Amino acid sequence: MNLLITGVTIADPNSQFNQQKCDVRIEHGKITAVESKLGTLTATKGETIFDGSGSVLSPGFFDLNCAIGDPGIETKEDIYTATAAAAAGGFTGLAVLPHTKPVVQSKGEIAYIINKAKGNLVDVLPVGAVSQDLEGKELAEMYDMKLAGAVAFSDGTKAISDDGFMSRALQYAKGLNGLLMVYPENKSIAGKSQINESKNSVLLGMKGLPALAEEMHISRDIFLATYHDAPVHISNISTAGSVALIKKAKKDGVKITCDVAAHQLVFTEELLNDFDSNYKVKPPLRGKTDIKALISGLKDGTIDAVSSQHRPHEIEFKDVEFEIAAYGIIALQTVLPLLLKAGLDAGQIAEKLSVNPRTLLGLAVPVIEKDAEANFTLYNATEEWLYNSENNFSKSANSPLLNKKLTGKVKLVYNNKQLQSYG
């Protein structure tokens, strides 16, 4: 489909047209013209025109931390529903985690995901397991998985507790030029905690997860990354102390990167006072001081990227007592509204949600320039919309934002010569 988008503001730090109002033409999957003198591009025969006045054109969003149930647990989410939700949220690429059944731990599972996702508007890139069966004891077939197309390695939501194993995994991944993406939690300190350790956890009578559990784990990984001169990526940090540790490590030259889940920038632990299990996430929702530090860390470059931390669950895992409810929320369609609510501007969103995630994985970064392959998201940062069962494209419904008005609406996504419009 040939397309002419008029009057958009481009948000792309790698484009010469960054922060300019432009008309953009797409023909046969390529950007064939970008004109900053508005109105100079006129429609050609058979070309669809979209009025982008008041909207932002960004390189397509990419998610570093998405869980789906495919293969094996498709009742939670399959590749087709995940990509439908992703596109509606502005994502044209997903890195999907390996905690499925079977675990993605060999070239066979990698090939399955790549082949099933072929031809989709949304690129689906598998992350292979670090350890066999995610047990943190023996290395998975990382070399074979990388050759088959794994973009990184992770044990998903399971923290790697054994220090010696983590040391060996870092060494091995370094030899493959591979990246470990690790979840930070000291299990012996975390125990069977449910929510953030604070006055609020005492008030609610629930075991709290101290910030110390996350920060001790990050400290260990900083020491190991320094010792081996190997890169490590910390997924979903949530505390002010974590931001401080990573900021210092970066200053000291450690090869460390990190991301934060979008909901950690807006939701606070006080939302748990009604025991709504849709707010039960891990790491848990923290306090206002942590949120302030996380947003500051994003803006000063300490935090490299924002992720969805999309965790779909069937109703029987969430519509139960808080203590036994599963952790996680569906999030692919709500990342943009949350980032806007957190105060990020269009340039920061493009950097943290489009450019940096791909750079971390060594992927080609889309750019809004003439002759570039078209891969973009068009959104209106001020438009309100109601998120409900009719426009929720996920197979699951475990989101505290369902049936609420959100600000920031995706209008178009384009990738792999495919266009999707959302009005």
Complete DSSP assignment for 145-169: HHHHT---B--TTS----HHHHHHH
Evaluate if residue 39 carries a pLDDT over 80: no
Residue 362 CB partners (closer than 8 Å, separation 6+) = 151, 179
CATH class of domain segment(s) 60-360: alpha beta
- pLDDT classification of 41: cutoffs 50, 70, 90: confident
* Element housing 223 (H / E): helix 211-228
Total residues belonging to the chain = 423
Beta strands 180-182 and 232-234 are parallel
**Longest pairwise C-alpha distance within the chain:** 67
- pLDDT classification of 42: cutoffs 50, 70, 90: confident
Query: Exposed, middle or buried by CB within 10 Å (0-12, 13-18, 19+), for 422?
Result: middle
Q: How confident is the model at residue 90, as a pLDDT? A: 98
Beta strands 48-51 and 21-27 are unpaired
Q: How confident is the model at residue 250, as a pLDDT? A: 98
| CATH number given to 3-57+369-421 | 2.30.40.10
Q: What's the pLDDT tens digit per position in 93-102? A: 999 999 999 9
Q: How confident is the model at residue 423, as a pLDDT? A: 78
Q: How confident is the model at residue 287, as a pLDDT? A: 96
Are residues 147 and 107 in contact, defined by beta-carbon separation less than 8 angstroms? yes
Q: Report the C-alpha gap between 322 and 280 in whole angstroms.
A: 8
For residue 27, the cross-strand partners are 30
Torsion sign over Cα 38, 39, 43, 48: positive
Domain ranges in the chain are 3-57+369-421, 60-360
Conformational region of residue 208, where left means phi above 0, alpha means psi within -120 to 50, and beta covers everything else? beta
Q: What's the pLDDT tens digit per position in 137-167? A: 999 999 999 999 999 999 999 999 999 999 9
**Lowest-pLDDT range of 40-54, 110-124, 168-182, 306-320:** 40-54
